[in-house]
Amino acid sequence: MTIETGRPRVLHALTALLVATAAATVVVEVINYWYAPSHGFGFAVRTGWALLRTLGWLLLIRQVRRDRAAARPLGLILAVTTVFAVGRLVVPRSGLPPLPGVIGFAVLLILCVAVVVLLYRHPVVRDHLVRHPQRLVLTREGLRSREAVPRRAPVTGWLLTARISAFTYSPLMLVPCLISFAELGDRPEWLPAVLLWLASGIGVSYAVLLGTFFLLRGKAGARRYLGGLTVFVLVWDLPLCYFLLGVDGLIRDGAPLVAAAVLTWYALRRAATA
């Protein structure tokens, strides 16, 4: 059934769900900050990165309202990374987490799961989120904004998922890298490694951009390239998290990167068999 605007009710329900999820992200972050026993530099960086996901949810709302095909993989990545980003702030370094924070995280987890279920399991949502971005084209009447339908074979949703997931590698590397700068007081000999970590985190974004450019064009070897890049990111980033931030940093900052890597590998595999 539809309502006055002609859009299915489920899309309006999805939009409302996304608004609630964005708001819940902010609320849970405020609760975590309020109950946190200390507010060090690392906590501030992780909190800021988690709050940036609110902008991602707002972008997703815009994509859904415009029926964009990229909304589904973007929603999946946001849901997965938001759960990890917020979850690592709920648990303190010692002791039990505060009850309000646990309740808020549980609500946010339910909202994120509901978003993924609607995006990937509801047939009406799948049928509507198929449009491509608008682009300016030159016609006899002048410049007009039209849907840019690709001339090549349409890109599968799993390839888009792999692309968006791989683009999270760089920020997921830079967050623990920035935190490590504050941990160099007693270990200045690690400064070159942290600087190299910073450079590699920035460089990975360009490497992903190059790989996904060829991936979406069906070039041979693009999947192997992105898979190999994923292995490099894990092998390089996880040991640095452990040696510079300890087991706590490995869990808090390494786990989200591992989740993004697994999702990228899974999306590449599904795209190859689609």
What is the structure's pLDDT at 131? 75
Asked which of 6-15, 90-99, 227-236 is least confident by mean pLDDT, the reply is: 90-99
Query: What tokens appear for 93 in the block?
Result: 């370094």
What is the structure's pLDDT at 147? 52
User: Is residue 180 classed as helix, strand or coil in its secondary structure?
Assistant: helix
What is the structure's pLDDT at 220? 73
User: What is the DSSP code (8-state) at residue 2?
Assistant: B
What is the structure's pLDDT at 4? 44
Instruction: Report the alpha-carbon distance of residue 166 to residue 14 in Å, rounded.
Output: 25
Q: What is the mean pLDDT of residues 175-189?
A: 83
- Chain-centroid distance of CA 91 in Å reads 21
Q: Is the pLDDT of residue 228 over 70?
A: yes
Burial 144-155 (b: 16+ CB within 10 A, else e): eeeeeeeeeeeb
Q: Is the pLDDT of residue 265 over 70?
A: yes
Q: What is the pLDDT of residues 150-178, one digit of tens each?
A: 554 455 678 888 888 899 999 999 989 98
Query: What tokens appear for 254 in the block?
Result: 């390494």
Residue % of the chain over a pLDDT of 70: 85
Q: What is the mean pLDDT of residues 144-154?
A: 52
Asked which of 105-109, 129-133, 254-258 is least confident by mean pLDDT, the reply is: 129-133
Give me the residues paired with residue 147 across strands.
134
- Chain-centroid distance of CA 77 in Å reads 4
Tell me the backbone φ, ψ of residue 219, rounded to 5 degrees: -75, 140
**What is the helix (H) or strand (E) element at residue 216, kind and residue range?**
none
Most confident of 41-50, 76-85, 142-151: 76-85
Nearest partner of 127 among 197, 72, 195, judged by Cα: 72
Burial of 6 (0-12, 13-18, 19+ CB in 10 A): exposed
- Cβ 82 vs Cβ 25: under 8 Å: yes
Q: How confident is the model at residue 210 (pLDDT cuts 50, 70, 90)?
A: very high
Q: What is the pLDDT of residues 19-77, one digit of tens each?
A: 999 999 888 888 877 777 666 777 777 777 777 778 889 999 999 988 888 888 889 98
Instruction: Report the alpha-carbon distance of residue 142 to residue 7 in Å, rounded.
Output: 31
Query: What tokens appear for 235 in the block?
Result: 């092998």
What is the structure's pLDDT at 113? 94
Q: What is the mean pLDDT of the chain?
A: 83
- Cβ 260 vs Cβ 168: under 8 Å: yes
What is the structure's pLDDT at 150? 52
Q: Is the pLDDT of residue 16 over 90?
A: yes
User: What is the DSSP code (8-state) at residue 188?
Assistant: G
The radius of gyration computed from the CA coordinates of the chain, to the nearest angstrom, equals 20
- Cβ 57 vs Cβ 78: under 8 Å: yes
Domain boundary assignment for the chain: 1-149, 155-268
Query: What tokens appear for 13 in the block?
Result: 């329900």
What is the structure's pLDDT at 209? 92
